[in-house]
Structure 1
Amino acid sequence: MVCPSYKRKEQEIATLGYPTYKRTEQEIATLGCPTYKRTEQEIATLGYPTYKRTEQEIATLGYPTYKRTEKEIATLGYPTYKRTEQEIATLGYPTYKRTEQEIATLGYPTYKRTEEEIATLGYPTYKRTEIEIATLGYSSYKRTEQEIATLGYPTYKRTE
């Protein structure tokens, strides 16, 4: 049974006796409602537990989650700060383009990562200066010359 629900407000539909707040997004989409055009805020206001959905589920429903900023996602209630960089990259976020400062601001413990882990995630760590690395919280002063050379730093240019 298809109703012209796409023209009505959810409140109007609820008033008419349809339990829209209990329907799944799939059910609503089946009825012809353009749910994929609603904002997360609108959906949350209507009583849908969007904050409990996985990013994959939301993407499946047609939400452009890959275009949202981490701040926007955090505002919507997604625990982005708990995700790994790999998970975020898998979801389509251009994490490899972020600066360490931006990532730290978003709540990622970048200062605890090894240079190898960071390089694996796509950060151009080999291009950083020792002072930049120290500024980011890496204990570069504890590295051996061999370790530094392995990471791609021009150790032969350093003064004693």
Structure 2
Amino acid sequence: MPGNHIGRACRLALAATALLWLPVAAQAQTGAAPVWPPKLVRIIVPFGAGSSPDIIGRVLGDSLQARYPATNFVIENKPGASGNIGTDAIAKSVPDGSTIGISLGGPLAINTLLFARLAYNPDTDLAPITMLTQLPSVLAVPTSLGVNSV
């Protein structure tokens, strides 16, 4: 039947195409998987020492150090420009697993509205891993103002 002949030809063409790609797939499978963590991991915090992200970064660094004792986890504070300097350093780091960034919503969301141009694009230059914590926001006024609620 003519229809059967066309179906058979398509199946043969697909099989031949699959065979042509087989060496490429085999080569991709034989490549060595990257080992994590490397000997040194930088944890970049785009805020000053003692800030909430710094404390979170140090707790994370200590936990990772305990889990991976052969690796050094180094906290690098890069404050300035509302977190943009450190976040830019995270965005421009080599994507090899040797750099982790700890940040807040400012450099990742709010600064896109406050600054005319950023040296990084939070949507395309950074890959989120997880949300570590949720920090509460508090509105405070002097008691002499007489305000009890908003």
How would you bin the TM-score normalised by the shorter chain?
under 0.3
Greater relative contact order structure (CA < 8 Å, 6+ sep): 2
Structure holding more strand per residue: 2
Return the index of the structure with the highest Cα Rg.
Answer: 2
Q: Greater helix share, 1 or 2?
A: 1
TM-score computed with the length of structure 2 as normaliser: 0.25
